[in-house]
Amino acid sequence: MSLPDGMGGGDEPGRPPLTLRIEAVRRLLWTLLVLVSALGLLAELVHHLWMPSSLADVVPLFSLSEEGNIPTWYSSALLLTCGLVLLLIASAATQARARHRGHWWFLALAFLYISMDETVTLHERLNDLIPLSGIFYFSWVIPVGIAVAVMGLAYIPFLRGLPARTRRQFLVAGVIYVGGALVTELPLGYWSVRVGEDNLGYSLIDFVEETLEFTGVTLFLLALLEYAHDHHGVIRLERGRGQPR
């Protein structure tokens, strides 16, 4: 396979690549996504339709509307894993003097920050700085949306330099993730103002938002693993019984 400009494809001497079974990784990621989302939806239904006292302390652990619980940890872990794979790619791109190595480093740092923010929820503190109502009730979407738009424009040359398959995978994953993280916050904000937050409608919108985020990050992680294998050799993917991808 031919490589993009300035990128090496062989394994680095003295540092064997991380070997993964791609089918196993893909199966694990999608199974976890379905499990976390399904348990989150079940928790919301139990909370709003039938909440026995014995489950009062258990349901919040799986709720997608709560923070500091299992779905929050899973989301943060997914984002952190993306950041670590991006660091591997950025390091390999730097050694190969690849053209857009700076973009890889910035993307890695961005995902490491987002994984931290997912747990600490720094972005939600912007709501107090910009108090609004209606669809912009969660006003943090405005500065973050502007930042995402600027970053998107700045990354156009980077995306054009990627292989067609990788570019398509990144774009699909990005649209799904941003659709959940930012766009879905608009109807969620409107619902919060009109109806409130402690109701099934709010929880269902939040379920859609979180599931879209999980899906986008999962697709992005799988695309990163494939790219790291095909174009840098820092990760080795196998199919079947020891068959290299």
Cα distance between residue 112 and residue 83, in whole Å:
5
Flag whether pLDDT at 16 surpasses 90: no
Element holding 235 (H helix, E strand): strand 235-239
**Residue 237 Cα to chain centre, angstroms:** 21
Amino acid at 30: W
CA neighbor of 73 nearest in space, from 123, 124, 119, 122:
119
Beta-ladder partners of 19: 236
Flag whether pLDDT at 9 surpasses 70: no
Q: Output the pTM of the full model.
A: 0.86
CA neighbor of 46 nearest in space, from 36, 33, 56, 34:
56
User: What's the sign of the alpha-carbon dihedral 222, 169, 219, 86?
Assistant: positive
**Which structure tokens are listed for 236?**
């080795």
Beta-ladder partners of 237: 20
Flag whether pLDDT at 6 surpasses 60: no
CA neighbor of 85 nearest in space, from 236, 245, 234:
234
Most confident by average pLDDT, 18-27, 45-54, 155-164: 155-164
pLDDT tens by residue, 184-194: 999 999 999 99
Q: Pick the residue with more confidence: 68 or 73? A: 73
CA neighbor of 167 nearest in space, from 180, 177, 155, 176:
155
